[in-house]
A and B are shown apart, each in its own frame.
Chain A
Amino acid sequence: MCLSGGLDSSGIAGLAADHFPGATAVSFDLTGGGTSEDRQAAERVAERLGMGLLSADADAGALLAHLDSVLVEGVDWRDFNVHAGLVNAVLGQAIARAADGAGALVLTGDLPNEFLIDYHAERYRGQTFYELPRLAPAALRASLVRGLDTSNREIGVFAAFGLPVVQPYAVAVDAYLSLPAEFLARPDRKEHLCRAVFGARLPAFVLERPKARAQTGGDRAGGVLGTCLDHGIDAVWLKRRFAELHDVQDLRAVDRFIRAGCYRSAAPALAGEPG
């Protein structure tokens, strides 16, 4: 169970503890800056649920060693998906090593951020990243959900380690998408819903935590986003490397490959000329 100690993954971890005795929590952390708040929260949640916790730690070198694999298997070059894919690659590698050929099923807490528009832009060294479209809540949700078409950052990246993934929130997609726009505008929408869905399975301290994003390190400067940028791996670098790895000669083909979060051809090199 991929566990960040946030609302989404902790809720699923609560269900996993009930239904999959012996399930193990797995927590990502970047080494070199002390123990992150996410790791501390994950440890508390795992202990509360009686789950063992596997640490998936990486320093900058180990993290960035996954870049090519994430660009290939994630089939995306955009920073927000690459950074999430890097976290998943570290998690996947730790799980595969721990399973030692015995096989494992990965559960994640992905999807509610799109269903409940629980994203925001991030600032790093004076620049803004992960910008969101300026749209009303219902239109923004539609845009984010459409973008899930290009979410190989999770399924594809874990698959590279031979790991099948289940995203339990997908079971309730229709219920989530039927939530009215007024509900999406509530600042406490996710906490409210998690209380209703998971009840006592969610420890109170998880409900009170401010949202942290693994890609940005939560309380610590940078996280995966900062690590990439500090090593010169910005949006332009990612796009060029993506093109190289996918044998795309013309960068304009990369721009043609994804539109509005949907793939327009089966492979980047097939995006070809318009018309």
Chain B
Amino acid sequence: MTEADVAERVERFVREQFAIDPGDGRFGRSVDLFEGAYVDSVGLAEMLGFIEEEFSVSVPDEELLSDDFGTIDGIAAAVCRLRPA
């Protein structure tokens, strides 16, 4: 699975789970989901549950707390790093 595949699945989850307006031009894979108020702390827990189950990874705190984990692109990169080769 490529990083783009992961990003696509995460984006689909975020759009559906958090009811992102399809016409929201600000939303994208490089926007900070938390500062952009797309995902709150409850939503992050749900997103983390999805990521860990969907991609069979366990996200360590250093990844979770990194700035990169704030965007869909960053999450996809982290997932690809964490997945067994």
Interface residues of A (CB under 8 A from B): 78, 131-136, 139-140, 143, 252, 255-256, 258-262, 264, 274-275
Interface residues of B (CB under 8 A from A): 32, 34-35, 41-46, 48-49, 52-53, 61, 64-65, 67, 69-70
- In Å, the complex CA distance between A132 and B49 comes to 13
Q: A139-B52, A262-B64, A262-B65 are in contact. Are A255 and B45 (CB under 8 A)?
A: no
Contact check, B41 vs A135: say whether CB atoms are below 8 A apart.
no
- In Å, the complex CA distance between A252 and B70 comes to 13
CB distance from A12 to the nearest CB of B (A): 28
Q: A78-B41, A134-B46, A135-B49 are in contact. Are A252 and B35 (CB under 8 A)?
A: yes
Contact check, B35 vs A264: say whether CB atoms are below 8 A apart.
no
Contact check, B45 vs A260: say whether CB atoms are below 8 A apart.
yes
- In Å, the complex CA distance between A139 and B61 comes to 15
- In Å, the complex CA distance between A143 and B34 comes to 17
Tell which of B35, B43, B61, B67 touches A262, judged by Cβ atoms closer than 8 Å: B61
Q: A255-B35, A258-B41 are in contact. Are A264 and B46 (CB under 8 A)?
A: no
- The total of interchain contacts (Cβ-Cβ below 8 angstroms) comes to 51
> Which residues on the B side are within 8 Å of A261 (C-beta)?
41, 45
- For B71, give the chain A residue with the smallest CB separation: A274
Contact check, A259 vs B45: say whether CB atoms are below 8 A apart.
no
- For B69, give the chain A residue with the smallest CB separation: A259
Instruction: Report whether over half of chain B's contact residues are helix, strand or loop; otherwise say mixed.
Output: helix
Q: A261-B41, A262-B61, A274-B70 are in contact. Are A255 and B49 (CB under 8 A)?
A: no
Tell which of B34, B42, B53 touches A259, judged by Cβ atoms closer than 8 Å: B34
- For B58, give the chain A residue with the smallest CB separation: A142
> Which residues on the A side are within 8 Å of B32 (C-beta)?
274
- In Å, the complex CA distance between A259 and B42 comes to 10
CB distance from B60 to the nearest CB of A (A): 11
CB distance from B63 to the nearest CB of A (A): 11
- In Å, the complex CA distance between A137 and B5 comes to 28
- For A130, give the chain B residue with the smallest CB separation: B42
- For A259, give the chain B residue with the smallest CB separation: B65
- For B43, give the chain A residue with the smallest CB separation: A133
- In Å, the complex CA distance between A26 and B80 comes to 51
Contact check, A256 vs B34: say whether CB atoms are below 8 A apart.
yes
- In Å, the complex CA distance between A135 and B69 comes to 20
- In Å, the complex CA distance between A132 and B53 comes to 18
A to B CB contacts below 8 Å, 24 in the list: A78-B41, A132-B42, A133-B43, A135-B45, A135-B46, A139-B48, A139-B49, A140-B45, A140-B49, A143-B45, A143-B49, A252-B35, A259-B34, A259-B41, A259-B44, A259-B65, A260-B48, A260-B64, A260-B65, A261-B41, A261-B45, A262-B65, A274-B32, A275-B67
CB distance from B75 to the nearest CB of A (A): 12
